[in-house]
Structure 1
Amino acid sequence: MRIACAWSVSLSGLEGSPVQVEAATGQGLPKISLVGLPDAALLQARDRVRAAISGAAYEFPKGILTINLSPANLPKNGSHYDLAIAAAILAATEEVPSEMVKSTMFFGELGLDGNVRRMRGILPAMLAASRAGFQRVIVPHGQAREASLVPGLTIWPVRHLHEMVDLMHGRPIALAPETCEPDEEVDQQPSDFADVQGHSDGKWAMEVAAAGRHHVFLHGAPGVGKTMLASRLPSILPDLGHEDAIEVSALHSLAGRGLESGLLVRPPYSDPHHTSTMASLIGGGGRDIRPGSISLAHRGVLFLDEAPEFGSRTLDALRTPLENGWVTIGRVNQVVRYPARFQLILAANPCPCGYSGVVGKECTCPAMTVRRYRERLSGPILDRIDIRHHMLPLTRAFLADSDEPPETSVQVLTRVMEARGRQQYRLMATPWCTNGEVPGSYLRKHLPLPEDLGPLERGLSNGTLSARGVDKVLRLAWTLADLEGEDRIGTGNLRVAMLMRQGELARVG
């Protein structure tokens, strides 16, 4: 019996564990056994690898072949183990040096002709390889740039099984230049706040939301500008820090989105359609659990347009991620946790036809239909929203030249970054960076409160504020103070925050 081994990685969410791929050949009738808790896609690797090795004119074992994926109790899924399995088999048949193979990590799916194909999650896989102490990694050609985002690794890209064999023998290979495939989701013309005419109250509400990372609920008639305003929120958000950029990029890599242009340094924006399933929004699947839209919006913006049209169970599933910034997805054989700390922007019409209470329009919906439509957004979800803003139709022709040109995103971003800087200085001894993340206990015990708490006490006594609502108002008040350059919140900040929380604010000042 001859035994050889190679290495790959098992991914569970963003966490990766090294997997030793062992191949043992022996005498007997031809038989291939793949053990070690593989899923259906991985079981099919037996046929893919055999065809690839034979198609590349290498010897495939004619007797008993046993392939073991260790540790055996760790669930393994996906097709990226193909190249590691082929390397272990070729080492067992002495086609490649076994010492070289067992000190290398391999990633890539094999075609029947021996071509090496791309895989999802190459960035978190490289992070796992680096943590495990490996220095040499073989990846599919076209993913070397993404793999090289992790420092300290020697990346060898290959296009075919022949090139992997040549590398193991120390023979040079001709490296063709990698081409970057354009990302279809990248907007070539970034949206700017200068495109929004009027709606000064709405733009101010979004500025406050950006400064403190607050959730927003926009409601108003169709075409009033809710989507335009929400889609421009990322343009006034600061760039991601290095650690956040790696985490966000790893999530997008798991979703199969290429990172050929480098780490994602801008806050992501996700706007799923209201027909999206819970699995696509929250994350899930069978054994191959993928991140959902809320995780792809991590450290960015999740915009749910026509929010009442989403399923009630789907919306209610947002409660826990909104509170703790994580989503945990459980299956029989594994539990996966994805980060999901996003800014939620909800948008809704006043009724199904969109014209209930709109001046100059006639609503055609029965009263009970309007009530049911509004009740689709449950109280627990709305209670987690910091800012509620009703958008009114414009009162003048926005096509005409305005007296004062609207502010650009760069101008608004300057104020947002100044406010963020004050928050980071105030919270430097804590694990939080923005007001929207600070727990209520820390707000009440460690940060100074205004002397007059009358607005909060009246809100609690008349039922317009919940205990969570008090914390939301305090966070908003701190953001308002930061935008004004103040070191503590005043009663005026508290009152304005109360009005923003209740959706009754026409811009003050």
Structure 2
Amino acid sequence: MVAKTYGSTVSGVDAILITIEVNVGQGTSFYMVGLPDSAVKESQQRVESALKYFGYRMPRQKVVINLAPADIRKEGSAYDLPIAMGILKASEQVVFAELEDYVIMGELSLDGQLRPIKGVLPIAIEARKKGFKGLILPQPNAAEASIVNNLDVIGVENLEQAIGFLEGDIEIAPLVTDTRDIFYNSLEDYEFDFADVQGQDNIKRAMEIAATGGHNVIMVGPPGAGKTMLAKRLPSILPPLTLQEALETTKIHSVAGRLGSEASLIAQRPFRSPHHTISDVALVGGGGNPQPGEISLAHNGVLFLDELPEFKRTVLEVMRQPLEERRVSISRAKVSVDYPANFMLIASMNPCPCGYYNHPEKECVCGPGVVQRYLNKVSGPLLDRIDLHVEVTPVKFDEMTSTRKAEKSNVIRERVVRGRDRQVDRFKDHKEIYCNAMMPSHMVKEICEINEAGKNLLKTAMERLGLSARAYDRILKVARTIADLSDAENIKVEHLAEAIQYRSLDREGWAG
């Protein structure tokens, strides 16, 4: 007898439906075909042990299992449960009424308990798209899949529960999650708040501009000036995730297996801070079985690179294309996948190896040319993709001990959201653009128009400060964001003047 069950595999951040066909007939052999990897082939032992544990048997006949389509490689242990169901039906040990109405996934332990799997959210989305009634999967994954509406999500703890449900002997209520509650509860649930930061008003202003326009930032300053502290608080002033952004972000973390048990929807923008010893594959993604890297895990959020010059040159250079295209393509001999990588880059660095170049009180002990060599570790093309260069100075004692309450993140976030709304309205006819930082060069001339006084100021700044040509577009984009924060229709001279001061590292002679 031939039985069919349905599972799914994940390619990139999307799922592909897999049909598991089981044929039990005359003979004594066991075959599994359809490009299974070692983990899938080993399911024979796990399935046999789990069936015996609950009083069923593995057929002592010829068993052929086909995973279709046969030209797609099947990886992982999540096919155990649908294979077990197919064997039970094909060997006529159990009669299932609705077996083909559900997508079934789950890894079996030897005693028939179900272990959580990766990539549940894209699998649930694909199951709904293909018109299935529901999804049967391990209990710890149910909350993640339940954010997909119009799909019965059935969480089961073991093989016996799954069999009982499909036979009709056990009733299990589908899990339903209200995404509105998740978003509402997440708005004030930030671990870090700008109210904790004393002083540094000019850096907070730069962070507010960056958050409004989606601009990349590099902070240069001595140790202990608060660079990391400020960077960790940036997500708390970013606009809340939309449902579409939350789904995209959750899909990536689901595929990477980073959601954790009982997790559902990621409702806060991610903040990723990899160590400077990270490899290029770990940063951008890849491997024999391609997985998302840190830049994709930071999608719709913040990627913070602390001590930027300490990262390997090759690691920094592989970020150049994703920063421009906001996605990363990983090609291997057998597979090619795309991962989204639309993130804000926040970098920090000391101005020199000793950390005290340009310090108002401490003396720099670095020799001649050392500062320039240190800064040269960060390439020009990478700096070209960073809009704001911010010099961070140490907090004075009076500011540190002041009792004046700093502005809370939610107050700053309200201004950021108003500025971002203006941009969304401005780019409503451009599907892939929703903030100023994403403007291509040909749009800058049209949208960032400046008057004659502004042109004279910009010309003078570029000549006197020795600003490079690459700084021109960046200054105009930042000035447009500052104007949006001020609710100004056009870019004014004061907006340009503020934007110019955020190009420190482009100035000739900055490093002596």
Q: Flag whether TM exceeds 0.5 (same fold).
A: yes
TM value normalised by structure 1: 0.91
- Partner residue, 1:473: 475
- Partner residue, 2:328: 327
Q: Deviations over 1:341-397 (max 9, x none)?
A: 000000001223322343433444444554433221111111100000111122333
2:20 is aligned with 1:21 = yes
In the alignment, the residues of structure 1 paired with residue 349 and residue 428 of structure 2 have an alpha-carbon distance, to the nearest angstrom, of 37
Q: Deviations over 1:390-412 (max 9, x none)?
A: 1112233344235x432111221
CA separation of 1:426/1:175 partners in 2, compared to 1, >3 Å: closer, same or farther?
A: closer
In the alignment, the residues of structure 1 paired with residue 56 and residue 387 of structure 2 have an alpha-carbon distance, to the nearest angstrom, of 63
- Return the offset for 1:271: 0.8
Q: Deviations over 1:440-467 (max 9, x none)?
A: 2122235644344345556777972335
- Partner SS for 1:150: coil
Alignment check: 8 A CA contact 2:274 2:305 kept: yes
- Counterpart residue identity of residue 18, structure 1: L
In the alignment, the residues of structure 2 paired with residue 17 and residue 174 of structure 1 have an alpha-carbon distance, to the nearest angstrom, of 26
Mark the runs of 5 or more structure 1 residues left unpaired by the alignment.
179-186
CA separation of 1:446/1:202 partners in 2, compared to 1, >3 Å: closer, same or farther?
A: closer
Which of 82, 85, 91 matches 1:87?
85
- Counterpart residue identity of residue 497, structure 1: A
- Counterpart residue identity of residue 22, structure 1: E
- Partner residue, 1:493: 495
- Partner residue, 1:108: 106
In the alignment, the residues of structure 2 paired with residue 173 and residue 421 of structure 1 have an alpha-carbon distance, to the nearest angstrom, of 47
- Between 271-280 and 104-113, the greater mean CA deviation after superposition: 271-280
- Partner SS for 1:486: coil
- Counterpart residue identity of residue 441, structure 1: H
Alignment check: 8 A CA contact 1:191 1:231 kept: yes
Alignment check: 8 A CA contact 2:145 2:264 kept: no
**Number of residue pairs matched by the alignment:** 493
- Partner residue, 2:409: 409
Alignment check: 8 A CA contact 1:146 1:259 kept: no
CA separation of 1:449/1:260 partners in 2, compared to 1, >3 Å: closer, same or farther?
A: farther
Matches within 5 A, 1:195-234: 195-234=196-235
Q: Deviations over 1:436-491 (max 9, x none)?
A: 12222122235644344345556777972335x33222211110101111011123
- Between 20-29 and 253-262, the greater mean CA deviation after superposition: 253-262
- Partner residue, 1:36: 34
In the alignment, the residues of structure 1 paired with residue 194 and residue 439 of structure 2 have an alpha-carbon distance, to the nearest angstrom, of 28
- Return the offset for 1:127: 0.7
- Partner residue, 1:421: 421
In the alignment, the residues of structure 2 paired with residue 224 and residue 233 of structure 1 have an alpha-carbon distance, to the nearest angstrom, of 16
In the alignment, the residues of structure 2 paired with residue 246 and residue 384 of structure 1 have an alpha-carbon distance, to the nearest angstrom, of 27
- Counterpart residue identity of residue 87, structure 2: I
- Partner SS for 2:397: coil
- Return the offset for 1:139: 0.9
Matches within 5 A, 1:353-364: 353-364=354-365
- Partner residue, 1:184: none
CA separation of 1:73/1:456 partners in 2, compared to 1, >3 Å: closer, same or farther?
A: farther
Alignment check: 8 A CA contact 2:206 2:390 kept: yes
- Partner residue, 1:464: 467
- Partner SS for 1:258: coil
- Return the offset for 1:7: 0.5
CA separation of 1:483/1:188 partners in 2, compared to 1, >3 Å: closer, same or farther?
A: closer
CA separation of 1:227/1:489 partners in 2, compared to 1, >3 Å: closer, same or farther?
A: same
Q: Deviations over 1:420-441 (max 9, x none)?
A: 1221222222222211122221
TM value normalised by structure 2: 0.90
- Counterpart residue identity of residue 478, structure 1: R
- Counterpart residue identity of residue 428, structure 1: K
In the alignment, the residues of structure 1 paired with residue 123 and residue 458 of structure 2 have an alpha-carbon distance, to the nearest angstrom, of 49
- Return the offset for 1:238: 1.3
In the alignment, the residues of structure 1 paired with residue 478 and residue 175 of structure 2 have an alpha-carbon distance, to the nearest angstrom, of 51
In the alignment, the residues of structure 2 paired with residue 354 and residue 102 of structure 1 have an alpha-carbon distance, to the nearest angstrom, of 64
In the alignment, the residues of structure 2 paired with residue 261 and residue 8 of structure 1 have an alpha-carbon distance, to the nearest angstrom, of 22
Give the fraction of aligned pairs with identical amino acids, expressed as a percent. 39
Mark the runs of 5 or more structure 2 residues left unpaired by the alignment.
177-187, 508-512
Alignment check: 8 A CA contact 1:115 1:160 kept: yes
Which of 47, 50, 56 matches 2:48?
50
- Return the offset for 1:500: 1.3
Which of 270, 273, 287 matches 1:271?
273
In the alignment, the residues of structure 1 paired with residue 57 and residue 261 of structure 2 have an alpha-carbon distance, to the nearest angstrom, of 36
Alignment check: 8 A CA contact 2:195 2:406 kept: yes
- Partner residue, 1:182: none
- Partner residue, 1:162: 160
2:94 is aligned with 1:96 = yes
- Counterpart residue identity of residue 465, structure 1: S
- Return the offset for 1:78: 1.5
CA separation of 1:174/1:433 partners in 2, compared to 1, >3 Å: closer, same or farther?
A: closer
- Counterpart residue identity of residue 426, structure 1: R
- Partner residue, 2:134: 136
In the alignment, the residues of structure 1 paired with residue 506 and residue 194 of structure 2 have an alpha-carbon distance, to the nearest angstrom, of 23
Alignment check: 8 A CA contact 1:96 1:168 kept: no
In the alignment, the residues of structure 1 paired with residue 174 and residue 323 of structure 2 have an alpha-carbon distance, to the nearest angstrom, of 46
- Return the offset for 1:291: 1.3
Alignment check: 8 A CA contact 1:80 1:109 kept: yes
- Between 206-215 and 56-65, the greater mean CA deviation after superposition: 56-65
Alignment check: 8 A CA contact 1:302 1:345 kept: yes
- Partner residue, 1:183: none
In the alignment, the residues of structure 1 paired with residue 41 and residue 143 of structure 2 have an alpha-carbon distance, to the nearest angstrom, of 30
Alignment check: 8 A CA contact 1:109 1:117 kept: yes
Alignment check: 8 A CA contact 2:276 2:308 kept: yes
- Partner SS for 2:468: coil
In the alignment, the residues of structure 1 paired with residue 211 and residue 366 of structure 2 have an alpha-carbon distance, to the nearest angstrom, of 35
Alignment check: 8 A CA contact 2:112 2:158 kept: yes
Q: Deviations over 1:249-290 (max 9, x none)?
A: 111222221374542222111111112222222112222x22
- Between 387-396 and 437-446, the greater mean CA deviation after superposition: 437-446
In the alignment, the residues of structure 2 paired with residue 405 and residue 45 of structure 1 have an alpha-carbon distance, to the nearest angstrom, of 60
In the alignment, the residues of structure 1 paired with residue 505 and residue 488 of structure 2 have an alpha-carbon distance, to the nearest angstrom, of 24
- Between 446-455 and 485-494, the greater mean CA deviation after superposition: 446-455
Alignment check: 8 A CA contact 2:153 2:174 kept: no
Alignment check: 8 A CA contact 2:154 2:175 kept: no
CA separation of 1:356/1:446 partners in 2, compared to 1, >3 Å: closer, same or farther?
A: closer
- Return the offset for 1:504: 8.8
Which of 69, 72, 86 matches 1:71?
69
In the alignment, the residues of structure 2 paired with residue 396 and residue 345 of structure 1 have an alpha-carbon distance, to the nearest angstrom, of 27
- Partner SS for 1:142: helix
In the alignment, the residues of structure 1 paired with residue 85 and residue 274 of structure 2 have an alpha-carbon distance, to the nearest angstrom, of 41
- Partner SS for 1:445: helix
- Partner residue, 2:184: none
In the alignment, the residues of structure 2 paired with residue 3 and residue 24 of structure 1 have an alpha-carbon distance, to the nearest angstrom, of 4
